[in-house]
Amino acid sequence: MYRFESDFDRKLTILMIDDLNNRFGLGDQLVFSPHPSGLVRGVVKSKACTGEFFLLGAHVSAFQPTDQTGPLLFMSSKSVYQVGQPIRGGVPICFPWFGANKADSQAPGHGLARIRVWEIAKTERKGDTISVMLETTIDQLNLAYTLAFGTQLDLSLAITNVGDHARECEAALHTYFQLSDVREVRVFGLETLGYLDTLTHKTMPATGQAIRFTEETDRIYSGEVASIAIEDPGFARNIEIRPRNSRSTVVWNPWVAKSIRMPDFGDDEYLRMCCIETANVGLNRISLAVGQQQSIAVSISTRNHCE
Ligand code: TA6
């Protein structure tokens, strides 16, 4: 059963979920329900796909097109599900900074967006696609995040400066992809871009080759690309990633030692995942004049090898 802090907490959550289903539910294709942790989630079931997201962090935690025998997104079996803590896996949103906060070493890694509860703004069904818009405002920057669960997963984060002065920020859709075996996959689409190796702090030239994972990998590629493909022979599929308005792409696998150091990540889970993150970070950070809006988006789909 669900783990609630108190009977009051349980009743409050159930009242909130009833209200969400009355206002935003879409029959049996979008139902809000309590996760065993007590967190509120939306569950998508349509002819096109199944999916799941949490109000915490507007966090997409599952997506599986109906022609796939397994999920596209990786979720750690050790993830914590608690307001104020990031969920490990799926699509965490890094905002308004990426990585450590340069001005405050005590600030939470990857910012505040992924550890706070967002509000549902609207939901919509178009054919077999279920769309959900979630919103929050952080430090006078409004975030409107649209999730579209269909034959592909479309994610679009609109950032608007609602304050009274120009601002800079960083944003990343930190997507964890489910793999058969990270040692067997190749990542195509970034071979012409240079990158910052965040482990050595060295700027590296384009390799001209697909990425293979043989050790801890933590790279920030700079430049816009139309598409990235994860070729996964074990699952006989490519995962196709099409970023939009993204000038950075982060590629990460923690490998053995870092996996062991992460309490919310299984020691051998690095074998079944990699992160390909659609981002605008570092020198490619976002600048917003008063009232200005910028979006960053990504579409995620599959192509089976037998096709
Ligand atoms: O995706 C790159 C990265 O910045 C890595 O350095 C690693 O720290 C990862 O994000 C996960 O960060 P998290 O704060 O979610 O543990």
Distance 109 CA to ligand 1 centre (A): 8
Indicate the top mutation candidate among 110, 177, 217 to test ligand 1's pocket, ranked by most ligand atoms within 8 A of CB. 110
Q: Are 90 and 197 in contact (CB under 8 A)?
A: no
**Confidence at residue 37, expressed as pLDDT on a 0 to 100 scale:** 93
> Mean pLDDT over residues 116-143, rounded?
98
> Mean pLDDT over residues 37-42, rounded?
96
Residue 217 has pLDDT above 50, yes or no: yes
Task: List the structure tokens of 25.
Answer: 């539910």
Indicate the top mutation candidate among 87, 174, 217 to test ligand 1's pocket, ranked by most ligand atoms within 8 A of CB. 174
> Which residues line ligand 1 at a C-beta cut-off of 6 Å?
86, 99, 109-110, 174, 218, 250, 252, 275, 277
Residue 1 has pLDDT above 50, yes or no: no
Predicted confidence band at 33 (pLDDT cuts at 50, 70, 90)?
very high
Residue 143 has pLDDT above 50, yes or no: yes
Q: For 226-285, how does the pLDDT look when each residue is reduced to its tens digit (9 = 90+)? A: 999 999 999 999 999 999 999 999 999 999 999 999 999 999 999 999 999 999 999 999
Distance 176 CA to ligand 1 centre (A): 11
Q: DSSP label at 194?
A: -
> Mean pLDDT over residues 1-15, rounded?
75
Exposure string over 54-81, b if 16+ CB within 10 A, otherwise e: bbbbbbbbbbbbeebeebbbbbbeebeb
pTM assigned to the model: 0.97
Q: DSSP label at 113?
A: G
Task: List the structure tokens of 250.
Answer: 């982060």
**Confidence at residue 7, expressed as pLDDT on a 0 to 100 scale:** 82
Residue 175 has pLDDT above 50, yes or no: yes
Task: List the structure tokens of 52.
Answer: 């799941």
> Mean pLDDT over residues 45-58, rounded?
98
Indicate the top mutation candidate among 101, 275, 276 to test ligand 1's pocket, ranked by most ligand atoms within 8 A of CB. 275
Closest CA to 102 of 288, 285, 289, 296: 285
Cβ contacts of 307 within 8 Å, gap of 6 or more: none
Residue 3 has pLDDT above 70, yes or no: no
